Every structure is written in C-alpha cells, then in structure tokens.
Structure 1
C-alpha cells in the first residue's frame, strides 16, 4: 500500500492518520480510533513486543555506597507495560 495514499476508516469513513514507530506504520481513525495494520507491520509488532518482554525482565544492580560527592540521578523514562503502548502515548 502506498504511504502517500489517504486512508479512510472502513467503519465510519473518517480520515485515518498514520503513526510510525521503528519499522511499523499504524493507521488510526481520527474519529472512532480504530486501527489498521498491514500484515507485515503486524508481524513486526509481534516481534518487537516479544523482544520488549524478553529484555524487560528484572535488572538487579548492587546498591551504590552513598558518598558526599554523589549527585541526583536524572529522571527515569515512564514505565510502560508493553511495547505497543508506546505507539499510543
């Protein structure tokens, strides 16, 4: 499917906006918020989701010893429960 072609929602006939994250393009309806994926994009999403869960296990690091010269760490990124959540935030 051409990336330049304007898509309309099959449910409500409203225009759909494209969102790209990595190799995946998701088309979402601006009205009813339905989503459309091409088959290859669905496969890429499944692989990315599996990778995210494999790499999101507990990471235990030893606690550092507190010293006077320590600084406050930078704020952490918001925690997501799944890779696919990052498409809709």
Structure 2
C-alpha cells in the first residue's frame, strides 16, 4: 500500500461501502498495518488492519482480531504518537 494514501473505501460483507481516513501505516515484524477511522463519523476508537496478499497477489486489508497482534499494533501506534 502506498504510504501517501489518506483515505480508503472498504466494503463490508453486505456490500455497504464506508470511507476511512488513514491515520498511519506501520511496519511491524515484517508485516504492514494501517490504522484507520471512519470518515465523517465521530468515533473514539481507531481500527487496526493488517495488509495481506490474496491468492492473486493483490493487497487485501484484514481486521486485526487476535489480542496479541492487536496489542503489538496498539503499542507501536502509541509509541509513534507519544513522540510527536
């Protein structure tokens, strides 16, 4: 995923599209992640997504659901923004 992407549009299981602002992209342990928040919505929580490749080699965004992986991304995010 390009580092200069500011917004992305994701489609849920029901076909509904939602636009998200990309807060940051993180590279952790040879994996790439993006942290996003829904655009134009008042939300206090960000969403962590892992960038994977599907069988065709195309990038896909996968929600980070495993606690250990989520905590690793959250710690990197907090460290990055605590330095600003």
Same structural fold, with TM-score higher than 0.5 when normalized by the shorter chain: no
Q: Greater strand share, 1 or 2? A: 2
TM-score, scaled to structure 2: 0.33
Higher CA-based Rg? 1
